[in-house]
Amino acid sequence: MTDTKHIQSAYELAKERYAELGVDTEQALARLDNVSISLHCWQGDDVGGFENPGGDLTGGIAATGNYPGKARTADELRSDLDVVYSLLPGSHRLNLHAIYLESDSKVERNAIEPKHFSGWKDWAKEKGHGIDFNPTCFSHPKSVDGFTLAHRDEDIRQFWVEHCIASRKIGEYFGKELGTPAVTNIWIPDGYKDTPADRQTPRRLLLDSLDTILAEKIDPRYNLDAVEPKLFGLGSESYVVGSMEFYTAYAVSRKILLTLDSGHFHPTETIADKISSMLLYLDELLLHVSRGVRWDSDHVVTFNDDTQAIANEIVRSNALERVHIGLDYFDASINRIAAWTIGARNTLRALLVALLEPQAMMRQYEVDGDYSSRLALQEELKSMPFSAVWDYSCSKKNVPVGMDFMSVIKDYEKKELSKRV
CA distance 385 to 21: 13
**Could you tell me the CA-to-CA distances from 386 to 10, 309, 341, 383, 392 in Å, in that order?**
10, 16, 19, 8, 10
Q: Catalytic one among 121, 142, 264, 324?
A: 264
Q: How confident is the model at residue 287 (pLDDT cuts 50, 70, 90)?
A: very high
Is 1's pLDDT higher than 60?
Answer: no
Q: What's the rounded mean pLDDT across residues 368-384?
A: 98
> How many Å separate Cα 196 from the centre of its chain?
31
CA distance 368 to 365: 5
298 is catalytic: yes
Q: Pairing mode, if any, of strands 191-192 and 239-240?
A: antiparallel
* Cα atoms in the 13 Å half-sphere on the side-chain side of 239: 17
194-248 residue pLDDT tens: 999 999 999 999 999 999 999 999 999 999 999 999 998 888 989 999 999 999 9
Q: Catalytic one among 45, 76, 190, 261?
A: 261
56 is catalytic: no
All residues at 6 or more sequence positions from 110 whose CB lies less than 8 Å from its CB, including other chains: 159, 160, 162, 163, 166
CB 346 within 8 A of CB 302: yes
CB 289 within 8 A of CB 310: yes
230 is catalytic: yes
296 is catalytic: yes
CA distance 173 to 330: 27
* pTM of the predicted model as reported, rounded to 2 decimal places: 0.95
Q: Catalytic one among 121, 140, 142, 230?
A: 230
**Percent of the chain residues topping a pLDDT of 90:** 88
**Could you tell me the CA-to-CA distances from 126 to 120, 169, 399 in Å, in that order?**
10, 22, 20
CB 118 within 8 A of CB 144: no
CB 185 within 8 A of CB 132: yes
Domain ranges of the chain: 1-23+357-421, 37-355
273 is catalytic: no
Q: Catalytic one among 46, 80, 298, 331?
A: 298
Surface-to-core class of residue 233, CB atoms within 10 Å of its CB (0-12 exposed, 13-18 middle, 19+ buried): buried
For the packed helices 154-178 and 200-213, what is the interaxial angle rounded to 10 degrees?
40
Give the per-residue pLDDT at 58.
65
Q: What's the rounded mean pLDDT across residues 394-408?
A: 97
404 is catalytic: no
14-35 residue pLDDT tens: 999 999 999 999 999 999 999 9
DSSP letter at 330 equals -
Question: In angstroms, how far is the first alpha carbon of the chain from the final one?
Answer: 32
| Closest-CA residue to 348 (of 14, 35, 30) | 35
Residue type, 358: P
Q: What's the rounded mean pLDDT across residues 126-151?
A: 96
36-74 residue pLDDT tens: 999 999 999 988 899 877 666 665 566 677 899 999 999
Strand blocks (E) in 248-339: 257-261, 285-289, 323-327
Q: Catalytic one among 46, 132, 172, 296?
A: 296
What three-state secondary structure class fits 89? coil
What three-state secondary structure class fits 263? coil
CA distance 251 to 228: 10
Give the per-residue pLDDT at 46.
87
266 is catalytic: no
CA distance 232 to 252: 22
CA distance 387 to 6: 13
DSSP string, 128-192: T--EEEE---SSSGGGTTS-STT-SSHHHHHHHHHHHHHHHHHHHHHHHHHTS-EEEEE----EE
Q: Catalytic one among 92, 163, 288, 299?
A: 288
| Closest-CA residue to 251 (of 273, 231, 224) | 224
What is 37-355's CATH number? 3.20.20.150
Helix (H) or strand (E) holding 269: none
CB 139 within 8 A of CB 52: yes
308-357 residue pLDDT tens: 999 999 999 999 999 999 999 989 999 999 999 999 999 999 999 999 99
Q: Catalytic one among 80, 313, 328, 357?
A: 328
| Closest-CA residue to 47 (of 63, 67, 69) | 63
